[in-house]
Amino acid sequence: MKAIIYNSFKGPVTVEDVSYPQLKKDGVIIKVMATGICRSDWHGWQGHDADIVLPHVPGHELAGIIEEVGSDIKNFKKGDRVTVPFVSGCGRCGECYSGNHQVCENQFQPGFTAWGSFAEYVAIDYADINLVKIPDSMSFETAASLGCRFVTSFRALVKQAKVSAGEWVAIHGCGGVGLSAIMIANALGANVIAIDISGDKLEFAKSLGAHQIINATKVDDVVAEIKAISQGGTHVSLDALGSKITCHNSISCLRIRGRHIQVGLMAGKEASPEIPMGKVIAHELEIKGSHGMQAYEYPSLMEMILSGKIQPEKLIGKTVNLDEAADILINMNNFQEHGVTVINQF
Ligand SMILES: [Zn+2]
Ligand SMILES: [Zn+2]
């Protein structure tokens, strides 16, 4: 089968003929119909992810059709249209028993702990408790765009930040995850402030539901600007980029008892940000992370999509084939892409 593969970190990324995945008893093989390209894939290629064993096939935001099911699979069959959260819990550890599959101690992540979905076929472990059936009316491209950035933003705002209607929410960074968060926060009834360094991205953010936008290159003090707009600071703030500056700004722009959620990955030289811990104490700020979402939480997200309140398909930038994707992956850090690029030709 065809797949995007690399043999060394930061080395060439090529499309090759590779071996078909092995079916496990508790797993399935999915014929990939669509798969999103994400900054996490770029981080993986850079060597920022300790789970990756070379040679490696990336790709973790996928949707497709089940080709084969393992002998232990009870809930799915060949031909089902499915997607999967980027973190699949084992179902047998303490975190999974507590319902927190998104932080499973033995988690399976296609494109990280195993070969991923930038391929004609992908194997998914622990499939019975992690696959999600796709509604008939939803395209594979849209379903693929949910599994990482969209569900992470959804959980960040709904479960971690517990955003209420009328609250101010700041979203730092308008890439795929930030734009998802803007759309979801708007649907939850929040007043959304979007911050980025690109005027184009900010205009797009506006069209997706940002009520106010701040171009960080055009103001002296981003935090002061946010505080002025929100009259004292936001109730909730997300660092949707993952950098020392955006993390610091996100915590600093909160009002008293505000909630910061870290969504953007902190990798490489951004890994250890400076936290204004004095303010965290004095203002009783909350700091939480958000890491994917359990498969069993998908129905509430699907209901919001089917009702038209949120439209993840608006985030799909362009669709490409495997060859084009190999190029896009290695150039990802140039921040050129609008929204989410999806591979749908293999
Ligand atoms: Zn991703
Ligand atoms: Zn587990």
pLDDT tens digits for 107-142? 999 999 999 999 999 999 999 999 999 999 999 999
pLDDT for 335 equals 60
Mean pLDDT of 14-28: 97
Residue 240 tokens read as: 């949707």
Mean pLDDT calculated for residue range 246-266: 96
Cα of 96 from ligand 2 centre, angstroms = 4
> Ligand 1 centroid to 40 CA: how many Å?
5
* CA angle, 293 then 297 then 298, to 5°: 90
Ligand 2 is an ion; its neighbours by CB within 5 Å are 89-90, 93, 96, 104
Q: Which domains does the chain have, with CATH numbers?
A: 2-134+311-345 (3.90.180.10), 150-289 (3.40.50.720)
Angle between helices 222-229 and 244-252 (to 10 degrees): 30
Q: Which ligand is nearest to the CA of 106?
A: 2
- CA 148 / ligand 1 centre spacing (Å): 4
Q: Collapse the DSSP code of 300 into the 3-class scheme (helix H, G, I; strand E, B; otherwise coil) and give the result.
A: helix
Beta bridge pairs of residue 46: none
CA 149 – ligand 1 centroid, Å: 6
- Render 194-252 in DSSP notation, one character per residue: EEES-HHHHHHHHHTT-SEEEETTS-S-HHHHHHHHTTS-EEEEEE-S--HHHHHHHHH
> How far is the C-alpha of 6 from the C-alpha of 76, rounded, in Å?
32
Residues forming a β-bridge with 194 = 171, 213
What are the structure tokens assigned to 231, written together? 């009259």
Q: Which pLDDT score, from 0 to 100, does residue 332 have? A: 84
Do the beta carbons of residue 96 and residue 87 sit within 8 Å? no
Can you read off the two tokens belonging to residue 68? 């084969």
Residue 119: strand, helix, or coil? strand
Between the CA of 232 and the centroid of ligand 1 the distance, in Å, is 33
* Positive or negative torsion for Cα 269, 102, 57, 340: negative
Ligand nearest to the CA of 58: 1
Residues in the chain: 346
Cα of first residue to Cα of last residue in the chain, in angstroms, is 9
Q: What angle do CA 279, 283, 289 make, to 5 degrees?
A: 75
Residue 241: φ, ψ to 5°: -100, -55
Going by their DSSP bridges, the two strands 286-289 and 316-321 should be labelled as unpaired
Q: How far is the CA of 59 from the centre of ligand 1 (A)?
A: 8
Residue 71 · residue 178 · CB < 8 Å: no
CA of 100 to the centre of ligand 2 (A): 8
Quickly tell me which residue has 């995850």 as its tokens.
Answer: 177
How many whole angstroms from 57 Cα to the centroid of ligand 1? 14
* Backbone phi and psi for residue 134, each to the nearest 5 degrees, phi listed first: -95, 130
Residue 158 has pLDDT above 70, yes or no: yes
pLDDT digits (tens, 9 = 90+) for 292-328: 999 999 999 999 999 999 999 999 989 999 999 999 9
- Average pLDDT on 34-44 reads 93
Among 233, 278, 236, CA closest to 261: 236
pLDDT at 163: 98
Confidence of residue 147 (pLDDT cuts 50, 70, 90): confident
